[in-house]
Amino acid sequence: MASSNAAETLAIWVEQRPVWQPARPVSIPDADDPDDEGGASLGYAEGQSFMIEYVDSAGRTSTRRITVWHLQEGGSAGIPSLYAKCHERNAMRTFRIDRIKCCIDFDGVVHDDVPSFIAESFGMALPLARKREPAESARWNALIGKIRTEAVLLTAMSRCDGQMAASEIEVMVAYLAKVAEREGSLLHDAEIGKLRQYLSRLRPTPRSIAGAVADATGFEPGRLKHLILAAARVMDADERRHPQEIRLLNIVSRELLGTTLM
């Protein structure tokens, strides 16, 4: 494999890994149910443009100009989102309505009642615009937002040899709990259990890996060093150093730190 880029190498290995064996026999009908088009109206996106103050899943606040192209309802809670052109990024982004703190017209008028503004601007049913995430779920999603970059990279490296040992999961849990604590979130026992399940189910895609590598390049040097050392501990957790793991660790270390680890 000629590629020396960490994201490309991880992505290639992800594509080559086998599909995991099902825990029970697989069964599907001849045809699936059609998509449900009923329910409250999402309304219509027709290029409405305004500014928003937005808080993302990691608790980071931004103020940006957007033009809305599409309205979508997604996630387990069915919370609607705006799929919009972010003019600060010059790229398409998705913004959950319950995370928008206020909307601002281009003439400076501030709309603090976001659900009413969305309902009026897009014709969305007001009860749908008012949907909110339960507090416990919101905390968990905020937590994952703080540790997602490290979780994706460590899990991808753990799985690059085709398997993930329980000992590797424990090393990752211990490290990610410390990352969360440094970011202001102290995990309780139930969340530690959920984190184990999250990692065991996580199978990073090429896109998520590339995004995590890009995000990690923005870390301060100390956080990067801790991440690479954690990756080495994950590699050693099953008491076997696979050649693929060593090669990948050095690729990631060289790309993020400018030097190889071993």
Question: Averaged over 197-221, what is the pLDDT?
Answer: 88
Which residue, chain included where needed, has tokens 């590339």?
210
Q: What is the pLDDT of residue 258?
A: 81
Q: 49 is written with which tokens?
A: 């443009």
For the chain, the average pLDDT equals: 83
Which residue, chain included where needed, has tokens 């703190």?
101
Query: Who wins on pLDDT, 51 or 262?
Result: 51
Q: Which of 37-41, 164-168, 177-181, 187-191 has the lowest mean pLDDT?
A: 37-41
Which residue, chain included where needed, has tokens 């052109």?
85
Q: What is the pLDDT of residue 19?
A: 56
Q: 156 is written with which tokens?
A: 């991808």
CA pair distance 216, 226, nearest whole angstrom: 12
Query: Who wins on pLDDT, 28 or 138?
Result: 138
- Identify the architecture of domain 49-124 in CATH: Roll (2.30)
Q: What is the pLDDT of residue 121?
A: 93
Residue 102 has phi, psi (to 5 degrees) of -165, 160
**51-104 per-position pLDDT tens digit:** 999 988 777 889 999 999 999 876 556 789 999 999 988 889 999 999 999 999
CA pair distance 262, 259, nearest whole angstrom: 9
Each domain of the chain, given as residue ranges in start order, spans: 6-14+135-257, 49-124
CA pair distance 59, 64, nearest whole angstrom: 16
CA pair distance 161, 51, nearest whole angstrom: 46
195: nearest Cα among 212, 216, 167, 172: 172
CB 102 within 8 A of CB 145: no
Give the total residue count for the chain. Answer: 262
- Identify the architecture of domain 6-14+135-257 in CATH: Orthogonal Bundle (1.10)
Q: What is the pLDDT of residue 171?
A: 95
pLDDT over 70 (residue 243): yes
What percent of the chain is modeled with pLDDT above 70? 84
CA pair distance 69, 82, nearest whole angstrom: 8
**133-148 per-position pLDDT tens digit:** 777 777 888 899 999 9
Query: Who wins on pLDDT, 245 or 77?
Result: 245
- pLDDT-derived band at 211 (thresholds 50, 70, 90) equals confident
pLDDT over 90 (residue 117): yes
Question: Averaged over 33-46, what is the pLDDT?
Answer: 60
Q: What is the pLDDT of residue 16?
A: 67
- In our burial notation (b when 16+ CB lie closer than 10 A, e otherwise), range 199-227 reads beebebebebbbbbbeebeeeeeeebebb
Question: Averaged over 35-63, what is the pLDDT?
Answer: 76
